Amino acid sequence: MELSDRIETKFRLDINQKRALHKLKLFSVSDLLFHFPVRYSDISEVKRIAELTAGDMATVYGKISNLRTKKGFRSKIPMAEGTIEDLSGKMKIIWFNQAYLAKMIHEGDTVKLTGKVTGSKSGTYLANPEFEKMPNMPIDAHNSLFQKSTEGLSPARNADNIASAGGYPVYAETRGITSKWFYHAIEKILREKTLDNIADYIPADILKKYSLPTLKTALVWIHKPKNADDAESARKRFAFEEVFCIQLERQHDKFEYRKNKSFKINIDEKSVAEFLQRFPFTATNSQTKSIDTILSDMGKNFPMSRLLEGDVGSGKTAVAATASYVTVKQRPNGQSFGNLQVAYMAPTEILAAQHFESFIQYFRHLPINIGLITGSGCRKFPAKTIGPAGSGVKWTDISRAQLLKWVANGEIPILIGTHALIQKTVKFKNLALVVIDEQHRFGTAQRRKLVRKDGVAPHLLSMTATPIPRTLALTIYGDLDLSLLDEMPAGRKQIVTEIITPNKRVETYEKIREELKNGRQLYIICPRIFEADLEKEMALNVKSAVEEAKRLKKEVFREYEIGVLHSKMSKEKKEEVMQDFTEGKIHILCATSVVEVGVNVPNATVIVIEGAERFGLAQLHQLRGRVIRSTHQAYCYVFADAKSEKTISRLKALKTAKNGFELAELDLTLRGAGELGGTKQWGITDLGMEAIKNLKMVEAARAEAVRLIEQDPELSNYPLLKQKVKSKVEEFHFE
């Protein structure tokens, strides 16, 4: 059997298995080998039903009853339902998309079930459990079996048992294929000595340095571990490998970008200090430090690539404005201002327009033009052509053709806009700095568009208010140097944050009404409704923005105008709703978390977050930041239906954490890397995201990647590694 062999040529598959493998994107023998167990169901996990709580991954023994098949009420998903009972109690079982299982198990069968205990409004149930039939015996006999198993004795195992000495490997499944099938398929591959001639792509010196097993050993240990240490060692190797491959690609991108020349920006410290004094606040220490670092980078011959992370309201725009000021202030050939240019890119038209207005305030004392380009139109400030300082304090609408002409000949040093900025029709004379707001995943391909034909590339300053754990930032943005704004400007009022349980809801609405009477505005955030089958079927009491807006208008805030904003609306409709909210035509905005990115409505001082237990702490913190835009006291009411002390305790961290970075790190430890959205958002596997928890591993992978790229940028001496990096990178969503 060869690694490249198609699965269907080596295994007898029915139509459902073929569909399932295709859905899991498993086509070759190699794909099967790299489809790793998500966990190992060990006998130590056996529990009594009465001991189970939502979130547990557990194994239970008991008798099956009340088996039936049905279809979901809304989703029409086929499913099997039943009940499992032991001496301590009963629990519901649901198999989504696996109705056929009701025919494989019979009423009264004694089984061992392994699955996740899931909570819903109607109680807890075991979701999609793996099942194994056990010899039929009375429940009390199985209770005795439970006692023995928890004392470290192995329970009776029949011939069809798939357990290895290290536990039961449990794989990611889909309808038509089970962990048992994967176990036997992998066993066949290993039995046929397919791995005998497999070559390792990780250099031997790196494996030795970090005590990592070879590829062949790791593949055997991850599927058939003899003990927990073997399984852990194999997972460590593949976790390191994933981060290492990302780092190699990121460091290569950095190496390639730095090959370009850039405009060397000279720094006049006195004029920088004078510019900073124009802001209505004193620069924080972290702002000053970030400005110094950024200006130092821009003084080099190669282009800067830097990511500026900071909470909402920490002053990122002021840092970007200062870098922009120093850039356009260059004075070649005795001119009062040079012809170097800045492009400032924002994710939405509303945010671009807000930055345009802000930059007018920052630069109105200087004889320079500022332009705005979006899909809706173009503007220029001052309305007149360049005149004495302070003249032309009003912007004017201009044609796109005229704006592009002025940008091309250098008459507009600062151009603000959306992605329209990097279209082919926009040509700069001397683009020296690009600032990207909330687009930190601005890809390598997009960056290449900014490099001129003569090999001159602009400095790049990317900014984000999304709190990212340090390890994740070091990995995902490995080609960007990091700067942090981890303190707020002096005098900024703290947001009053309250965790609201269901019995306090009415009382809280009255507090909110007082703020609305005083002319303030309100955000109400409802949880994003995921597409998972489980969500569709159980709904788990998730509030939708649309329905909540109707309920509030009918039952609570009848006298106020309520708007709705969610991700399925058209871009134009979103812009229209936000514009109405900004102008005060809408008093209350019911939205999903689409508002978390950069919307600035100073008059909105209250935010309600429904179903808060369904959001990450860092995301809750970022949503809360929407109401910290003015000098008015801001309020955040976190509505939680959670009954678990652990969940309430996690939410209470919102009241005590100093900043978003602290919460992001806490999220990583409490919720787990997978729940940070790694697989969906970046294409990193759960195993890779687990590695992100380990700072030493990330730093080691980064150090080795930097060393290898410095020695051999194209990995010419490591062809297998180069091929592996290429295949891995295709799975990531960096662009």
Place of tokens 């969940």: 647
* 29 and 82 within one domain: no
**221 located within any domain:** no
**Cα 709 to Cα 715: distance, rounded to the nearest angstrom:** 7
Backbone angles phi, psi at 41, to 5 degrees: -85, 100
What number is the average pLDDT over the span 648-665?
77
* 552 and 597 within one domain: yes
- The overall longest dimension of the chain from CA atoms, in Å, is 96
- What was the pLDDT predicted at 628? 72
- What was the pLDDT predicted at 572? 79
What number is the average pLDDT over the span 19-46?
83
**489 located within any domain:** no
Residue 371 has pLDDT above 60, yes or no: yes
Residue 20 has pLDDT above 70, yes or no: yes
- Whole-angstrom CA distances from 380 to 322, 373, 404, 427 are 20, 9, 11, 17
**733 located within any domain:** no
* 410 and 276 within one domain: yes
- What was the pLDDT predicted at 215? 95
**209 located within any domain:** no
**Residue that finishes a domain, picked among 121, 139, 171:** 171
**205 located within any domain:** no
Residue 220 has pLDDT above 60, yes or no: yes
Q: Is 560 helix (H, G, I), strand (E, B) or coil?
A: coil
- What was the pLDDT predicted at 137? 53
- Whole-angstrom CA distances from 694 to 396, 706, 728 are 53, 18, 20
**330 located within any domain:** yes
* 411 and 536 within one domain: no
Output the six-digit token pair for 372: 């705005």
* 344 and 382 within one domain: yes
What number is the average pLDDT over the span 100-108?
79
Check: CB of residue 405 under 8 Å from CB of residue 425. no
What number is the average pLDDT over the span 690-707?
86
Single pTM value for the model: 0.71
What number is the average pLDDT over the span 419-448?
79
Place of tokens 């009053």: 496
pLDDT tens for each residue of 271-295: 888 888 888 788 889 899 999 999 9
> Which residue in 671, 674, 676 sits closest to 649, CA to CA?
671
Among 262-266, 477-481, 513-517, 547-551, the least confident range? 477-481
3-state secondary structure 159-185: CCCCCECCEEEEECCECCECHHHHHHH
**676 located within any domain:** no
What number is the average pLDDT over the span 556-562?
91
Confidence of residue 163 (pLDDT cuts 50, 70, 90): very low
**Cα 63 to Cα 109: distance, rounded to the nearest angstrom:** 6
Ranges 178-182, 399-403, 450-454, 466-470, most confident: 399-403
Q: Is 697 helix (H, G, I), strand (E, B) or coil?
A: helix
- What was the pLDDT predicted at 218? 95
- What was the pLDDT predicted at 154? 34
- What was the pLDDT predicted at 663? 79
For 131-162, letters b (16+ CB in 10 Å) and e give bbebeeeeeeebeebbeebeeeeebeeeeeeb
What number is the average pLDDT over the span 645-664?
76
- What was the pLDDT predicted at 440? 57
* 46 and 10 within one domain: no
For residue 261, how far is the Cα from the chain centroid? 33
Ranges 128-132, 177-181, 521-525, 543-547, most confident: 521-525
Ranges 158-162, 248-252, 354-358, 494-498, most confident: 248-252
Q: Is 11 helix (H, G, I), strand (E, B) or coil?
A: coil
What number is the average pLDDT over the span 112-141?
74
Confidence of residue 344 (pLDDT cuts 50, 70, 90): very high
What number is the average pLDDT over the span 33-54?
78
Q: What CATH number did the domain enclosing 518 receive?
A: 3.40.50.300
* 12 and 140 within one domain: no
- What was the pLDDT predicted at 486? 79
Residue 734 has pLDDT above 50, yes or no: no
Residue 558 has pLDDT above 70, yes or no: yes
* 48 and 31 within one domain: no
- What was the pLDDT predicted at 392? 45
pLDDT tens for each residue of 201-212: 999 999 999 999
Beta bridge partners of 371: 380, 415
Confidence of residue 83 (pLDDT cuts 50, 70, 90): very high
* 356 and 327 within one domain: yes
For residue 219, how far is the Cα from the chain centroid? 29
Name residues whose C-beta falls within 8 Å of residue 544's C-beta, 6 or more positions apart in sequence.
526, 529
Of residues 122 and 401, more confidence is placed in 401
How many structural domains compose the chain?
Answer: 4
Among 284-298, 556-570, 589-603, the least confident range? 589-603
Strands laid side by side in the 341-345 sheet: 396-398, 377-381, 370-374, 414-417, 341-345, 431-437, 459-464, 305-310, 481-485
Check: CB of residue 484 under 8 Å from CB of residue 661. yes
Please enumerate, as own/partner, the contacts of 95-98 that have beta carbons within 8 Å and a separation of 24 or more: 95/128, 95/129, 96/127, 96/128, 96/533, 96/534, 96/537, 97/174, 97/175, 97/533, 98/128, 98/175
Place of tokens 């004075």: 331
**Residue that finishes a domain, picked among 163, 194, 225:** 194
Confidence of residue 444 (pLDDT cuts 50, 70, 90): low
Of residues 338 and 34, more confidence is placed in 34
Which spans in 48-178 are helix H?
101-104, 139-150
Residue 138 has pLDDT above 60, yes or no: no
* 83 and 28 within one domain: no
User: Across the chain, what does the average pLDDT equal?
Assistant: 80
Name residues whose C-beta falls within 8 Å of residue 516's C-beta, 6 or more positions apart in sequence.
522, 557, 560, 587, 588, 606
- What was the pLDDT predicted at 594? 67
* 549 and 592 within one domain: yes
DSSP for 204-242, please give it.
HHHHHHTTPPPHHHHHHHHHS-SSHHHHHHHHHHHHHHH
> Which residue in 640, 639, 638, 634 sits closest to 515, CA to CA?
634
* 542 and 451 within one domain: no
Confidence of residue 325 (pLDDT cuts 50, 70, 90): very high
- Whole-angstrom CA distances from 132 to 19, 35, 115, 240, 677 are 24, 22, 12, 34, 32
Q: Is 157 helix (H, G, I), strand (E, B) or coil?
A: coil
Among 361-375, 414-428, 612-626, the least confident range? 612-626
pLDDT tens for each residue of 499-556: 888 888 889 999 999 999 998 999 998 875 433 333 443 333 446 788 888 888 889 8
Amino acid at 54: A
- What was the pLDDT predicted at 543? 64
- What was the pLDDT predicted at 211? 94
State what percent of residues in the chain have pLDDT above 70.
82
Q: Which structural domain, as residue segments, surrounds residue 282?
A: 269-299+315-464
What number is the average pLDDT over the span 625-649?
76
**721 located within any domain:** no
> Which residue in 230, 243, 240 sits closest to 40, CA to CA?
230
> Which residue in 190, 135, 126 sits closest to 161, CA to CA?
135
**Residue that finishes a domain, picked among 658, 674, 700:** 658
> Which residue in 152, 157, 162, 136 sits closest to 62, CA to CA?
136
Name residues whose C-beta falls within 8 Å of residue 717's C-beta, 6 or more positions apart in sequence.
none
Amino acid at 147: Q
Residue 563 has pLDDT above 60, yes or no: yes
**Cα 114 to Cα 457: distance, rounded to the nearest angstrom:** 56
Q: What CATH number did the domain enclosing 71 receive?
A: 2.40.50.140
